[in-house]
C-alpha cells in the first residue's frame, strides 16, 4: 500500500492568447478539474496499480463532494479531515506558448491537523511507502513521517513547490526526495549553501550531481527529475535499495507531449506505487517505470484527470 498525505484542489483553468495584465479583462477557454499535488500523486499511485490511501483535508462544499466522488471512482481510500475552510482551489491562466500564471487558495489544505494525521497511524504503519509534498502544513507532514519511521515504512518527500520551506528535521525523516531541477536548486541553496542555476542541472556531469545530492541528503536517496531527459538518482552508500550503482541517469521515454502539467506528480505517484508493489525489484526498475508513466501522462491534458492506467502504460510501451 501507498499512503499519500497532501492537498486536493479544484483547478479552474483559462486558456488565453496572452496572460492578463493588471486592470485587463480577457475571455478565454475555460475548463475545470481535480488537482493539487497530493491528489494528483495519489491518483497516479492508484492508477499505477497500488492500493492507495489519500490523507487530506476537504471543505464541506462542492469541491469536497468532487474529491469524494473521484476517490470512489478510482478506488482510492480517502481519509478526510472535514474543514470549515473551503476546499483548496487553483486559478490558472495558460497562454498559447504554454506559459502560466497561477493563484492557489490553499483553504482546507492549510488546515490538516496534526491530531488527524496521528489518528491515521494504523494505515500508515500498514503501508510500504508514505509519500508527501509541501502543500500541507509542515507539522502534519513531519508527524506522518515520524509515524512512518517508527513503523519501518519508507518515506518519500516530493519537495514541491520550489518556494516551500523544507526544515532539516523533515529531510532527516526522508528516505527518498524527488525534486525537479528548480526544487533541487532551491534546496541546495537552502541546505548546502550552493547556488546553482536550474537551467544547468541537466548538463552537469554525473559525479558533480552525485556530490551535490550527497551533501543535500547524506543518509538517503535523491531523485532529480529532468523533464524530457528523465531523471538522475543518487544513493547513499548504505541506502542502495537494491541497486548496483550509487548514481546514474534513467533516460525519459519518447512521447509526443501535449501538456506537461502534473508530469512530476505522475512520476512521484508511479514511483511510490512501483516501489510498494515490488519492494524486491531494483530501484532502477521503479525509476524506469516512473519515467514511462510520467511521459504517458503528458500526452493528455489535465492534472489528476490525465493520469494513465496501468493497462495503458503496458500497451503503450510493450
Q: Is 238 annotated as a binding residue?
A: no
Task: Please report whether residue 269 would count as binding ligand ADP according to CB under 6 A.
Answer: no
Q: Is 109 annotated as a binding residue?
A: no
Residue 255 as a binder of ligand ADP (CB under 6 A): the answer is: yes
User: Toward ligand ADP, which CB reaches closer, 57 or 226?
Assistant: 226
The residues near 201 (Cβ < 8 Å, ≥ 6 apart) are 181, 184, 185, 209, 224, 226
Say how many C-beta atoms besides its own lie within 10 A of residue 279's C-beta: 13
Q: Determine which residue in the list 257, 259, 299, 309 makes contact with ligand ADP, applying CB under 6 A.
A: 257
Distance of CA 214 to the CA centre of its chain: 21
Asked if residue 135 belongs to a known ligand binding site, the reply is yes
264 in a known ligand binding site = yes
234 touches ligand ADP by CB under 6 A? no
By CB under 6 A, the residues from 167 to 186 that bind ligand ADP are: 180
Nearest CB to ligand ADP, comparing residues 155 and 180: 180
**Distance (Å, rounded) from C-alpha 27 to C-alpha 149?**
50
Contacts of 243 (CB under 8 A, 6+ apart): 233, 235, 282, 283, 284
Binding window for ligand ADP (CB under 6 A); candidates: 1-9, 132-140, 196-204, 247-255: 247-255
Residue 98 labeled ligand binder: no
- Chosen residue from 3, 217, 226, 303 binding ligand ADP by CB under 6 A: 226
**Of residues 295, 303, 304, 307, which one binds ligand ADP by CB under 6 A?**
295
Work out whether 41 is an interface residue with ligand ADP (CB under 6 A). no
For CA atoms 9, 15, 19, 23, the dihedral sign is negative
CA 275 to chain centre: 15
Distance of CA 287 to CAs 99, 199, 260, 317, Å? 28, 22, 18, 15
If binding is defined by CB under 6 A, does position 246 make contact with ligand ADP? Answer: no
Q: Please state, in angstroms and as integers, the Cα–Cα distance from residue 305 to each residue in 5, 34, 70, 160, 240, following that order.
A: 19, 7, 10, 20, 34
Residue written as grid cell 502539467:
261
Examine the residue annotation and report whether 115 is marked as an active-site residue of this protein: no
Neighbour tally for 96: CB within 10 Å: 9
Position 225 contacts ligand ADP (CB under 6 A): yes
306 is in an annotated binding site: yes
Contacts of 98 (CB under 8 A, 6+ apart): none
Binding site for ligand ADP (CB under 6 A): 180, 225-228, 230-231, 252-253, 255, 257, 260, 263-264, 267, 291, 294-295, 298
Residue positions in the annotated binding site for substrate?
Answer: 9-11, 36-40, 135, 265
Cite the active site residues. Answer: 265
Which residues carry a binding-site annotation for K(+)? 259, 261, 297, 300, 302, 306
Amino acid at each position: 500500500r501507498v499512503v499519500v498525505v497532501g492537498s486536493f484542489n479544484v483547478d479552474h483553468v483559462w486558456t488565453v492568447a496572452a496572460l492578463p495584465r493588471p486592470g485587463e479583462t480577457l475571455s478565454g477557454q475555460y475548463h475545470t478539474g481535480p488537482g493539487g499535488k497530493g491528489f494528483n500523486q495519489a491518483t497516479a499511485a492508484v492508477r499505477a496499480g497500488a492500493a492507495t490511501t489519500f490523507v487530506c483535508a476537504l471543505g464541506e462544499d462542492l469541491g469536497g463532494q468532487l474529491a469524494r466522488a473521484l476517490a470512489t471512482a478510482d478506488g482510492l481510500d480517502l481519509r478526510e479531515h472535514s474543514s470549515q475552510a473551503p476546499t483548496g482551489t487553483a486559478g490558472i491562466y495558460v497562454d498559447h506558448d504554454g506559459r502560466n500564471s497561477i493563484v492557489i487558495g490553499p483553504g482546507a489544505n492549510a488546515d490538516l491537523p496534526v491530531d488527524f494525521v496521528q489518528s491515521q497511524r494504523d494505515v500508515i504503519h500498514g503501508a510500504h511507502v508514505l509519500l508527501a509534498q509541501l502543500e500541507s502544513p509542515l507539522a502534519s507532514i513531519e508527524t506522518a513521517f515520524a509515524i512512518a519511521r517508527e513503523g519501518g515504512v519508507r518515506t518519500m518527500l516530493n519537495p514541491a513547490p520550489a518556494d516551500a520551506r523544507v526544515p532539516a528535521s523533515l529531510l532527516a525523516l526522508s528516505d527518498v526526495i524527488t525534486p525537479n531541477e528548480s526544487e533541487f536548486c532551491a534546496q541546495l541553496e537552502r541546505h548546502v549553501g550552493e547556488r546553482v542555476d536550474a537551467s544547468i542541472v541537466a548538463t552537469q556531469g554525473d559525479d558533480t550531481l552525485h556530490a551535490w545530492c550527497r551533501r543535500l541528503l547524506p543518509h538517503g536517496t535523491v531523485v532529480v527529475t529532468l523533464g524530457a531527459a528523465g531523471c538522475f538518482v543518487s544513493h547513499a552508500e548504505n541506502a542502495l535499495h537494491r541497486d548496483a550503482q550509487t548514481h546514474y541517469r534513467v533516460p525519459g521515454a519518447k512521447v509526443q507531449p501535449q501538456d506537461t502539467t502534473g508530469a512530476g506528480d505522475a512520476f512521484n505517484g508511479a514511483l511510490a506505487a512501483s516501489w510498494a508493489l515490488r519492494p524486491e525489484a531494483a530501484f532502477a526498475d521503479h525509476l524506469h517505470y516512473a519515467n514511462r508513466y510520467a511521459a504517458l501522462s503528458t500526452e493528455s491534458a489535465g492534472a489528476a484527470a490525465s493520469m494513465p492506467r496501468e493497462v495503458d502504460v503496458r500497451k503503450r510501451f510493450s
